[in-house]
């Protein structure tokens, strides 16, 4: 009977917790803290959560606090959608959504458009960049979708442009071979066609895509395929965790491939975990500096970090910083909306179009200037390409490794991807 009592007690608690009323600005925050992409989902969500807590500690949006509800949806689109349905109606309808994955964000596109709730996703799928739905590749209208960073497609285009140059610089003979790698899932698939198309145009020989799951595993077979076909450049479409497995396996079988990760494909933690296998991996970065970088905005970032790390000693990976930038973009849009008719979805959306080369106040030198327009949600087309350098044993903590220079993320170049109209929404 004691179990029953416990059950009754929990349901009573449920009643108590579900009956809280909001007098603030409700914000929904979907995070992946336990699912397939939690390796990068956790630091990103922490960045968003810390930034929003910091904003509240400074008085919120012109004196009104944000009521943030963070929910872990385990990277399962159906769970995200049922959560969104709870958030999107009734008296405490959320004013904005901090989202995460590609599958769920793309599935929610129609819903957030209908409900007029701006969604700031952790997904940078090119399909989300077309607010009017006029893109030539059959993209659906996504008027309420925003993200901070270059789209997956643009980032890959930038890296391919770099790779074409790199091939010439290396003195490569003949056509370089390119292959797209990733899970059969909306997120790795998002830039696949765009990348393969441009690779062909740039003179790459495009080989059939190689699949590997979103979870870490034994990917020796995939690496042997790369080795046999003599691939020169491979795009890793997954997140850091499973990419590490590929990097290690390929190091073991001796596949000499220049790997290009996406924005979630590499970070300081992944470089530590992969060790020497991560050396030389190229990836796009969404902030102008890393945690130890020198920029005026870093002081704000250190203060934000203290929200969840009072000692102020934690080393925050690049995804954390991107989460902060995303949250602050939303915050400044809300600021503008509150002065121009109130913090409602349509006003926040309007606010997104007010600034050019927008860097949130206090984050100068950290967040990269972004511009959104009513017909184009490609906020950033400048792709900052970095290379992970790992020199030596990575047994120590990330903080020490970065301090000692064992792990370095060094900037190679910035590629300005042309804002072609035919690439909108693709």
Partner 1 sequence: MANISIIPSGDFKTSYGTDTTIFPTKTSRNFAILGVVLLLACPAFMDRYWLSLLIQIGYLGIAALGLNILVGFTGQISIGHSAFFGFGAFASAWLNNSVGVPVALAIPLAGVVTTLVGLLFGMPAARLKGLYLAIATLAAQYILQDFFARADWFTGGTAGTIAEPLTLFGFAFDTDESYFYVVLVAMVVMYLLATNLMRTRDGRALVAVRDHYLSAEIMGINLTKYRTMSFGISAFYAGIGGALYAHYLQFVSVEGFTILFSIQFLGMIIIGGLGSIMGTLMGTAFMVFLPEAMQALTKLVSGTAIDTALNLKDNIAFLREMSIGLVIILFLVFEPDGLAHRWKQIKAYWKLYPFSH
- Which residues make up the interface to partner 1 (CB under 8 A)? 3, 7, 10-11, 13-14, 17-18, 33-34, 42, 46, 72, 74, 76-78, 81-82, 85-86, 89-90, 103, 106-107, 110-111, 184-186, 189, 308
Q: Which CB atom, from 90 or from 312, has the smaller least distance to partner 1?
A: 90
Taking the least distance from each CB to partner 1, the nearer of 103 and 282 is: 103
Contact 343, 25 (CB under 8 A): yes
In the block, residue with structure tokens 């929404």: 425
Instruction: Give min distance, CB of 332 to partner 1, in A.
Output: 28
Q: Which residues pair with 376 in a beta bridge?
A: 373
Is residue 73 within 8 A of residue 30, CB to CB? The reply is yes
Least distance to partner 1, CB of residue 13, Å: 5
Q: Are 184 and 210 in contact (CB under 8 A)?
A: no
Q: Toward partner 1, which CB reaches closer, 1 or 357?
A: 1
Two tokens, residue 220: 């020796």
Please say which residue, 308 or 414, places its beta carbon nearer to partner 1.
308
CB of 88 or CB of 258, closer to partner 1: 88
**DSSP track, 154-222:** HHHHHHHHHHHHHHHHTT--SPPEEEEEE-SSHHHHTTHHHHHHHHHHTTPEEPPPEE--SS----HHH
Are 371 and 275 a contacting pair, CB within 8 Å?
no
Provide the minimum distance between the beta carbon of 75 and partner 1 in the complex, in angstroms, as a whole number: 8
CB of 409 to partner 1, least distance (A): 23
| Shortest spacing between CB 76 and partner 1, in angstroms | 5
Alpha helices in 202-313 (DSSP H): 220-229, 240-253, 268-274, 298-305
Closest distance between partner 1 and the C-beta of residue 358, in Å? 31
- Put residue 261 in one of left, alpha, beta given phi > 0 → left and psi -120 to 50 → alpha: beta
What's the min distance (Å) between Cβ of 18 and partner 1? 5
Q: How far apart are the first and last CA of the chain?
A: 58
- Beta-carbon contacts of residue 169 (< 8 Å; ≥ 6 apart): none
Q: Between 49 and 199, name the residue whose CB sits nearer to partner 1.
A: 49
Please identify, using beta-carbon distances, which residue of 14 and 412 lies nearer to partner 1. Answer: 14
Q: What token pair was written down for 161?
A: 């442009």
The candidate with the shortest Cα–Cα distance to 98, out of 342, 331, 360, is 331
CB of residue 22 vs partner 1: minimum separation in angstroms?
Answer: 13
Q: Compute the distance between CA of residue 197 and CA of residue 204 in angstroms, rounded to an integer.
A: 10
The full length of the chain comes to: 426
**Closer to partner 1 by Cβ: residue 82 or 252:** 82
Cβ 330 to partner 1, closest distance in Å?
22
The smaller minimum CB distance to partner 1, of residues 47 and 360, is found at: 47
Tell me the CA distances in angstroms from 165 to 160, 161, 207, 279, 410, one per residue in order.
9, 6, 20, 20, 18
Cα separation, 356 vs 359, in Å, equals 9
């Amino acid at each position: 009977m004691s179990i029953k009592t416990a059950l009754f007690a929990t349901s009573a608690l449920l009643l108590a917790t579900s009956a809280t009323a909001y007098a603030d600005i409700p914000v929904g925050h979907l995070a992946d803290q336990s699912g397939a992409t939690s390796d990068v989902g956790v630091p990103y969500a922490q960045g968003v959560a810390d930034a929003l807590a910091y904003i509240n500690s400074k008085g919120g949006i012109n004196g009104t606090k944000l009521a943030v509800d963070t929910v872990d949806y385990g990277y399962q689109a159906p769970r995200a959608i049922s959560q969104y349905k709870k958030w999107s109606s009734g008296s405490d309808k959320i004013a904005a959504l901090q989202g995460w994955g590609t599958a769920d964000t793309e599935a929610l596109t129609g819903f957030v458009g209908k409900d007029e709730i701006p969604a700031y996703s952790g997904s940078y799928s090119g399909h989300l960049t077309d607010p009017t739905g006029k893109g030539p590749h059959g993209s659906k209208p996504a008027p309420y979708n925003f993200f901070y960073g270059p789209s997956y497609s643009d980032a890959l285009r930038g890296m391919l442009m770099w790779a074409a140059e790199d091939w010439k610089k290396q003195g490569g003979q003949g056509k370089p071979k390119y292959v797209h790698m990733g899970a059969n899932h909306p997120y790795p698939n998002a830039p696949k066609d765009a990348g393969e198309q441009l690779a062909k145009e740039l003179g790459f020989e495009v080989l059939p895509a190689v699949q590997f799951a979103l979870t870490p595993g034994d990917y020796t077979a995939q690496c042997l395929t790369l080795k046999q076909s003599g691939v020169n450049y491979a795009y890793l479409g997954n997140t850091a965790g499973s990419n590490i497995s590929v990097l290690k396996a390929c190091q073991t079988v001796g596949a000499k491939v220049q790997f290009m990760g996406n924005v979630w494909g590499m970070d300081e933690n992944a470089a530590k975990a992969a060790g020497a296998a991560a050396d030389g991996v190229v990836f796009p970065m969404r902030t102008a500096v890393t945690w130890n970088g020198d920029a005026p905005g870093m002081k704000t970032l250190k203060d934000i970090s203290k929200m969840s790390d009072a000692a102020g000693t934690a080393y925050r990976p690049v995804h954390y910083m991107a989460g902060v930038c995303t949250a602050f973009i939303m915050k400044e849009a809300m600021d503008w909306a509150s002065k121009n008719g109130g913090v409602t979805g349509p006003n926040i959306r309007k606010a997104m179009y007010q600034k050019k080369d927008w860097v949130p106040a206090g984050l100068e030198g950290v967040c990269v200037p972004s511009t959104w327009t009513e017909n184009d949600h490609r906020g950033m087309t400048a792709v900052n390409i970095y290379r992970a350098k790992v020199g030596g044993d990575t047994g120590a903590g990330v903080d020490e490794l970065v301090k000692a220079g064992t792990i370095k993320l060094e900037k190679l170049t910035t590629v300005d991807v042309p804002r072609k109209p035919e690439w909108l929404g693709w």
